[in-house]
Amino acid sequence: MPDASEPYKSSQYWTSHHNWNEDVELPDEIKFHDTTFRDGEQQPGVVFSEDEKVELGKLYSEMGIDRLEPGLPLVSDDDKRAIERLANEGLDADVYAFTRCVKEDVEVAVDCDVDGVVMEVPSSRHLIEHAYDWSYEQALEYAIEATEYAHEQGIDVSFFCIDSSRADPDDLITILSRVKEEGHADSLNVVDTFGALSPAGTRSLVNLVSGEFDIPIEIHVHNDFGLGVANTLAGIQAGAEIAHTTVTGLGERSGNANFEEVATALTALYDYDLNLDLSQVKEIAEVTSDASGVDIHESKPVVGQNQFGIEAGIIAAWWNRLREQEMPLAMYPYHWDLVGQNAPRIAIGKMSGLATIEYWCDRLGLQAPPEDVQEDILQSIKGTSIGEKRELSPEEFVDIYRDTYNPEN
Ligand SMILES: CC(=O)SCCNC(=O)CCNC(=O)[C@H](O)C(C)(C)COP(=O)(O)OP(=O)(O)OC[C@H]1O[C@@H](n2cnc3c(N)ncnc32)[C@H](O)[C@@H]1OP(=O)(O)O
Ligand SMILES: O=C(O)CCC(=O)C(=O)O
């Protein structure tokens, strides 16, 4: 447990004290709404099978994700079956279907036994008039009628205004208040469809909406400027209680806010106690990646395979000393166990130093050579790595060691 006077430091993380220089207020409870199987699946080429949605959905729920949005039932019979199966699994997570403001969509969602719907309507006039060929009044009418209809069917309505971030603020507030008064909304989504917000802009927009309405606010953002996670955190800091995320950050264009990163950041940057088993995130990201067919980049925060990798000799020397003194967090912001990652490893390559040789000799039970021989081994490692343009395997290290040094002589 962190010391209350140093909330940025615990056995699991050591982040910056500067994060605590300003008062950061976070909601009492933060929930995760997973949209991997809906918005994530909108990434071109990604297809989750019915069984994959069900199996992964169960894992997400077991890990502690609060809500699943497995799709729009009308997209395919497979999706409808997946939604229905998940809704009837008795999961801890609630199951919501995505719908348009269309009665038929709601009827099919109700048939699937979902707990609620995320019901979308465009809110910016440029989309309403040019992309949908509707009038603003028509959009209002569809939204009021369909949200009221869904409420009458006894399911929750999470009302979702597409392009909230670029809608005229008066138009946005008008849609939200007319729907709340004449239709129905259990919660309101602040939606950055085109990833067009900055963190400050996100705070301002969430403040605008939460200043007008006393119901839960959800934050749904895209990652077009690489700010999906930052904007989700900014929205939460402004009072949004439900974060829409996708596992591995799947989604259209540059994806949605990445679940693993938002959850780890809340935990390690703000000492926030999420009701989640973070130690499962690496494995869950990997099985999701396998099912989606989209690889996890090696440098991806939290779950990338290089998150705890070291090649540079100076850093390898830090690791050798800090490991011996059991001070790993002196050189990492969080412990690998927090997120189910592999322990640090020292790669062998162009950037290696003498500490790399010390580390590998120790690991492989090889006698440490005298310093001049170590220097020869190091130059041979560097030369091979430069020639091959890659890191070397432990077997190649042993070959170089044996070619260069014979402890019998
Ligand atoms: C942005 C979105 O609308 S949803 C998010 C993106 N996700 C998807 O598109 C999911 C994948 N899509 C699909 O499988 C298909 O496009 C379907 C099943 C959703 C629709 O099938 P399509 O054959 O493309 O539908 P089609 O083009 O005939 O009609 C869409 C109708 O929905 C209407 N519609 C679209 N969005 C909404 C909305 N939010 N509220 C009310 N009506 C809407 C359109 O105005 C159009 O109405 P019209 O037939 O009176 O012109
Ligand atoms: O338009 C879409 O893709 C669906 C809505 C959505 O997910 C969004 O607006 O971000």
- Provide the CA 162 distance to its chain's centre, in angstroms: 21
pLDDT confidence bin for 226, thresholds 50/70/90:
very high
Mutate which of 35, 43, 47, 72 for ligand 1 pocket (most atoms within 8 A of beta carbon) = 72
On the 0-12 / 13-18 / 19+ scale of CB atoms within 10 A, 258 is buried
The region of weakest confidence among 19-23, 127-131, 283-287 is: 19-23
CA distance 217 to 292: 29
Query: How many CB atoms sit inside 10 A of residue 268's CB?
Result: 23
Residue linked to tokens 């699943």: 68
pLDDT in tens, 200-219: 999 999 999 999 999 999 99
Q: Which residues contact 351 (CB under 8 A, 6 or more apart)?
A: 311, 312, 313
Residue ID of nearest Cα to ligand 1 atom 7 = 42
Residue ID of nearest Cα to ligand 1 atom 38 = 100
Q: What is the mean pLDDT of residues 63-71?
A: 97
| Best CA proximity match to 222, nearest among 259, 247, 261, 251 | 251
What's the 387 CA to ligand 1 centre distance in angstroms?
55
Identify the pLDDT of residue 23. 83
Domain positions in the chain? 21-292, 309-404
User: Is any atom of ligand 2 closer than 6 Å to the C-beta of 80?
Assistant: no
Q: Do residues 204 and 235 touch, judged by C-beta distance below 8 A?
A: no
Q: Which amino acid is at 216?
A: P
Residue ID of nearest Cα to ligand 2 atom 10 = 193
What is the atom index within ligand 2 of the atom nearest the CA of 252?
3
Span 21-292 CATH architecture:
Alpha-Beta Barrel (3.20)
Cite the beta strand spans of 326-366 per DSSP E. Answer: 345-346
Q: Do residues 297 and 303 touch, judged by C-beta distance below 8 A?
A: no
Question: Which SS3 state, helix, strand or coil, does residue 82 take?
Answer: helix
Query: Which ipTM value was assigned to this complex?
Result: 0.90
Q: What is the dihedral of CA 131, 136, 141, 143, to 10 degrees?
A: 60
What is the atom index within ligand 1 of the atom nearest the CA of 133?
45
Q: Which ligand is nearest to the CA of 166?
A: 2
| Best CA proximity match to 107, nearest among 65, 149, 75 | 149
Six token digits for residue 262: 């938002």
What is the atom index within ligand 1 of the atom nearest the CA of 122?
39
Six token digits for residue 207: 């403040």
Q: State if pTM tops 0.90.
A: yes
Mutate which of 42, 48, 102 for ligand 1 pocket (most atoms within 8 A of beta carbon) = 102
Task: Decide the pairing of beta strands 187-192 and 156-162.
Answer: parallel
What is the atom index within ligand 2 of the atom nearest the CA of 38?
7
Question: Which SS3 state, helix, strand or coil, does residue 268 take?
Answer: helix
Task: Decide the pairing of beta strands 94-100 and 31-34.
Answer: unpaired
pLDDT confidence bin for 22, thresholds 50/70/90:
confident
154: left (phi over 0), alpha (psi -120 to 50) or beta: left
CA distance 205 to 10: 33
CA distance 168 to 151: 27
Report the chain's mean pLDDT, rounded to a whole number. 97
User: Is any atom of ligand 2 closer than 6 Å to the C-beta of 123?
Assistant: no
Q: How many CA atoms lie within 13 A of 218 on its CB side?
A: 26
- Where does ligand 1 bind, in terms of residues with CB under 6 Å? 42, 72, 74-75, 100-102, 120-121, 132, 142
Q: Does the pLDDT of residue 366 top 90, yes or no?
A: yes
Mutate which of 33, 159, 220 for ligand 2 pocket (most atoms within 8 A of beta carbon) = 220
CA distance 9 to 192: 33
Task: Decide the pairing of beta strands 242-245 and 156-162.
Answer: unpaired
Identify the pLDDT of residue 24. 86
Q: What is the mean pLDDT of residues 236-243?
A: 97
CA angle 125, 131, 135 (to 5 degrees): 45
User: Is any atom of ligand 2 closer than 6 Å to the C-beta of 120?
Assistant: yes
Q: What is the mean pLDDT of residues 64-77?
A: 96
Question: Which SS3 state, helix, strand or coil, does residue 190 take?
Answer: strand
Q: Do residues 263 and 274 touch, judged by C-beta distance below 8 A?
A: yes
CA distance 146 to 23: 40
Q: What is the dihedral of CA 241, 174, 155, 245, to 10 degrees?
A: -40
What is the atom index within ligand 2 of the atom nearest the CA of 163?
9
Q: What is the mean pLDDT of residues 15-36?
A: 94
What is the atom index within ligand 1 of the atom nearest the CA of 74?
18
Identify the pLDDT of residue 369. 95
| Best CA proximity match to 381, nearest among 347, 340, 343, 409 | 347
